[in-house]
């Protein structure tokens, strides 16, 4: 890309490049393969949520809401957070409903970071986090987590904090590794944040996708942490409504106010009838819905991981979320990209090259697959992977 005329795109745009996920999706469409690259859920929307949309339109929820969201959604989120996440936000001052968790993260970055501020991000990372940080000229500092359990080295984390560090980003359950941070790990992160006076931004969008009885721990629920933690979540994944764009931040009032101002500036508000429908879902769906969700996805995880193992692509079995990193070292090719193309051509199954999630050479060894697919597509993908043997 060049900037040789006055009418050039910004350096910010130039630094984004084309997403590997989009590139693999296009290659997959061309050969009519099964797209396990993109994190869209092909599963159904809970009927109570789907039906609530028309009802909301009929009731007149068609105009702007308050910048931080409909009161009934903020109240539903406050109750859910107290019950599920173990801390108690004030729906009047702490919660900002935004355009998905993505919009929420972006607003938090705009509200909290100045150019040159350093932000610690664990690797493998969700590339959107890096791009959102880059879009406000913040500087990501990468701390690796290592397979098989994607643990981080406490010393490495401590040493990554400099005089310019302003925050640590935690994504639990994590995309792409499926790591679920334990309470002990979160306590270590919390201790460092307190000692060095840092924010922690937690992306908990997969908070209900947990396997093998593992609990979800929200960092804001740890003693003293609510004041410095920006908790981000949303219903894109839990209600399979990625296209609705409903997410939120929870933060102490002074941070929430700044995040809310950015939300007002960028989006004015999240879509009104969809906010109403999500509130209905939160209020009406019982505990069993969430238990069944985790059970259903654990079965998908097990089925797909077994197929990967049989195909000679050993999986790093995820503890949560709905992605799996498979080791593709034995597949012909030098990079994750070459290997992902090989797998696509041989089997018609598209995954994302590991380079999308790692800075160094580790990415060459991995492909990420998303198993949030219908039973039929998942069965088909498992059969197709057998072509590698
Ligand atoms: C870690 C993580 N955060 C956020 C998102 C996006 O969430 P939303 O659709 O609510 O913007 C995704 C989607 O893939 C994700 O993996």
Residues 68-104 have pLDDT tens digits of 999 999 999 999 999 999 999 999 999 999 999 999 9
Find the mean pLDDT for residues 247-254.
98
pLDDT in tens, 289-301: 999 999 999 999 9
Residue range(s) occupied by CATH 3.90.1150.10 in the chain: 11-45+288-388
Please tell me the predicted confidence (pLDDT) of residue 14.
77
pLDDT in tens, 50-74: 999 999 999 999 999 999 999 999 9
Please tell me the predicted confidence (pLDDT) of residue 325.
98
Ligand 1: centre distance to CA 32 (Å):
25
Nearest-CA neighbor of 101 among 173, 18, 43, 36?
173
Pocket of ligand 1 (CB under 6 A): 39, 100-102, 126, 171, 175, 203, 205, 234, 236, 242, 247
Ligand 1: centre distance to CA 309 (Å):
27
Is CATH 3.90.1150.10 the right assignment for the domain spanning 11-45+288-388?
yes
Rounded to whole angstroms, what are the CA distances from 97 to 218, 264, 303, 311?
18, 10, 36, 43
pLDDT bucket at 9, cuts 50 / 70 / 90: confident
Find the mean pLDDT for residues 303-316.
97
Higher-confidence residue: 147 or 68?
68
- pLDDT of residue 186 exceeding 80, the answer is yes
Rounded to whole angstroms, what are the CA distances from 237 to 89, 234, 294?
22, 8, 12
Please tell me the predicted confidence (pLDDT) of residue 3.
53
d(C-alpha 156, C-alpha 143), whole Å = 7
pLDDT bucket at 20, cuts 50 / 70 / 90: confident
Mean pLDDT over each residue of the chain, to the nearest integer: 95
Nearest-CA neighbor of 274 among 88, 56, 105, 71?
56
Ligand 1: centre distance to CA 321 (Å):
11
- pLDDT of residue 275 exceeding 70, the answer is yes
Find the mean pLDDT for residues 189-204.
98
What length is written for the chain?
A: 389
Q: Any idea what the Cα angle at residue 367 is, between residues 362 and 373, rounded to 5°?
A: 150
Residue range(s) occupied by CATH 3.40.640.10 in the chain: 61-284
Please tell me the predicted confidence (pLDDT) of residue 25.
87
pLDDT more than 70, % of the chain? 98
pLDDT bucket at 44, cuts 50 / 70 / 90: confident
Ligand 1: centre distance to CA 388 (Å):
31
- pLDDT of residue 17 exceeding 70, the answer is no
Please tell me the predicted confidence (pLDDT) of residue 148.
87
Find the mean pLDDT for residues 137-166.
96
CA 185 to chain centre: 19
| Fold topology of 61-284 | 3.40.640
pLDDT bucket at 39, cuts 50 / 70 / 90: low
Do you find a cis peptide bond into 382, omega within 30 degrees of 0? no
pLDDT in tens, 370-388: 999 999 999 999 999 999 9
> In testing the pocket of ligand 1, which one of 35, 129, 205, 242 has its CB within 8 Å of the most ligand atoms?
205
pLDDT in tens, 344-356: 999 999 999 999 9
pLDDT in tens, 110-123: 999 999 999 999 99
CA 70 to chain centre: 24
Considering only CA atoms, which residue is closest to atom 14 of ligand 1? Answer: 39
């Amino acid at each position: 890309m060049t900037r040789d005329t006055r009418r050039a795109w910004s350096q910010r745009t130039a630094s984004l490049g084309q997403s590997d996920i989009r590139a693999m999706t296009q290659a997959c469409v061309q050969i009519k393969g099964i797209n396990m690259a993109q994190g869209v859920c092909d599963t159904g929307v809970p009927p109570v949520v789907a039906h609530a949309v028309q009802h909301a339109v009929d009731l007149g929820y068609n105009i702007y809401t308050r910048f931080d969201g409909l009161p009934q959604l903020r109240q539903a989120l406050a109750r859910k957070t107290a019950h599920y996440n173990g801390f108690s936000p004030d729906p009047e001052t702490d919660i900002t409903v935004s355009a998905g968790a993505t919009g929420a993260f972006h607003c938090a970055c705009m509200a909290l970071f100045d150019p040159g501020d350093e932000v610690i991000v664990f690797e493998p990372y969700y590339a959107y986090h890096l791009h959102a940080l880059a879009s406000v000229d913040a500087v990501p500092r990468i701390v690796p987590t290592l397979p098989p359990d994607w643990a981080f080295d406490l010393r490495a984390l401590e040493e990554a904090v400099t005089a310019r560090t302003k925050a640590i980003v935690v994504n639990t359950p994590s995309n792409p590794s499926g790591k679920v941070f334990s309470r002990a790990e979160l306590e270590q992160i919390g201790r460092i944040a307190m000692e060095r006076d840092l924010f922690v931004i937690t992306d908990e969008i997969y908070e209900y996708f947990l396997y093998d009885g593992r609990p979800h721990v929200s960092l804001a629920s740890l003693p003293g942490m609510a004041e410095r933690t920006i908790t981000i979540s949303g219903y894109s994944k839990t209600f399979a409504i990625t296209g609705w764009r409903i997410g939120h931040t929870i933060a102490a009032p002074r941070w929430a106010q700044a995040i809310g101002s950015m939300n007002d500036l960028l989006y004015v508000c999240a879509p009104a009838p969809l906010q109403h429908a999500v509130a209905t879902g939160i209020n009406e769906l019982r505990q069993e819905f969430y238990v069944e969700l985790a059970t259903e996805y654990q079965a998908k995880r097990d089925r797909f991981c077994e197929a990967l193992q049989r195909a000679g692509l050993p999986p790093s079995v995820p503890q949560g979320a709905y992605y799996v990193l498979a080791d593709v070292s034995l597949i012909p090719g030098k990079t994750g990209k070459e290997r992902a193309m090989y797998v696509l051509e041989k089997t018609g199954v598209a995954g994302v090259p590991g380079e999308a999630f790692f800075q160094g050479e580790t990415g060459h060894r991995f492909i990420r697959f998303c198993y949030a697919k219908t039973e039929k597509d998942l069965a088909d993908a498992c059969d197709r992977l057998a072509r590698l043997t």
